[in-house]
Amino acid sequence: MPFGEPPPVTDPTRPASASTLLNDFAATWASDRVRLADIVDMLGDRVYGLMLLIFAIPSAIPNPVPGITAILGLPLVIVAAQQVMGRPRPWFPAVLGNRSIATADFRRFVVQADPWLKRVERLLRPRFRALVSSFGERILAAIALLMAVILTLPIPLANLLPAVSICFIALAMIEYDGLMAGVGIAVAVGSVVIASSVVYGFVKIGIFLIQNALA
């Protein structure tokens, strides 16, 4: 819930939403800085979905901070790869785990992401649970890993959709929504098609320029 607002009435059979979990974490965190390791320790049994979401949102919003995909792409790759391997919780080397941001900046990020998350969460509910079972989540993590790799590559016009796909997959994991997982997979397919087309186009242009230079 946003800071200062009373808690909404929720369905006790439904897991807490991503926006609720993030707002609760931001509201209750007492230190003046938030380390990556602190986030992992506090997020509970849905830590993978939430970590993917936290790292993907800044690249999925319009007009992201320049260079943000290169900064957040590596943590995304690390998180997704460890979920594919079946680790119970993600682990980061100290150089990443001890990286921190001011708690005020983290809260500002949560406030900015909250309206977008709430709009998407209205469409989510637990369904088609086979797609978000333990095995299904490892398949989704493999797709997220591919999207994270594409996200880190300097491919023009090919960064937004992979981040959106990871966000959808992460929300599916958090809310146990297999339909949203399907949407995330569909966006991932589109991402691969666009990235492949862009790379193919640049290769064709490069070959054309080389052939003309040698002619």
The more confident residue out of 157 and 171 is: 171
- Residue 158 resides in a domain: yes
Q: What is the mean pLDDT of residues 105-112?
A: 83
Provide the 3-class DSSP secondary structure of residue 212: helix
Q: What is the mean pLDDT of residues 155-174?
A: 86
Q: Which residues form the domain of 115?
A: 18-214
Polymer length of the chain: 215
- Residue 12 resides in a domain: no
Q: Using the CB atoms, write b or e for 127-156: b if 16+ within 10 Å.
A: eeeebbeeebbeebbebbbbbbbbbbeebe
Residue 64's pLDDT is: 53
pTM beyond cutoff 0.85: no
Residue 71's pLDDT is: 64
Angle at 119 between CA 133 and CA 181, to 5 degrees: 20
Q: Which is nearest to 126 in space by CA: 49, 17, 1?
A: 17
- Residue 13 resides in a domain: no
By the 8 A CB rule, do 86 and 139 touch?
A: no
**Amino acid letter at 110?**
V
The model's confidence at residue 86, banded by pLDDT at 50, 70 and 90, is: confident
DSSP state of 64: P
> What percent of the chain lies above the pLDDT cut of 70?
85
The model's confidence at residue 215, banded by pLDDT at 50, 70 and 90, is: low
Q: How many domains does the chain have?
A: 1
Residue 66's pLDDT is: 55
The more confident residue out of 25 and 167 is: 167
By the 8 A CB rule, do 90 and 47 touch?
A: yes
- Residue 102 resides in a domain: yes
Residue 125's pLDDT is: 86
Average pLDDT score over the chain: 81
- Residue 4 resides in a domain: no
Residue 1 has pLDDT above 50, yes or no: no
Distances 140 to 51, 145, 163, 173 between C-alpha atoms, Å: 14, 9, 14, 9
Give the span between the Cα atoms of 209 and 199, in whole angstroms. Answer: 15
Give burial (CB, 10 Å; 0-12/13-18/19+) of 162.
buried
Residue 68 has pLDDT above 70, yes or no: no
Distances 125 to 62, 68, 88, 213 between C-alpha atoms, Å: 26, 31, 24, 58
Residue 14's pLDDT is: 60
DSSP letter string, 66-89:
TTHHHHHHHHHHHHHHHHHTT-SS
- Residue 27 resides in a domain: yes
Residue 157's pLDDT is: 67
- Residue 9 resides in a domain: no
- Residue 10 resides in a domain: no
Residue 69's pLDDT is: 60
Residue 152's pLDDT is: 83
pLDDT tens per residue across span 130-157: 888 888 899 999 999 999 998 888 777 6
Q: What is the mean pLDDT of residues 120-137?
A: 86
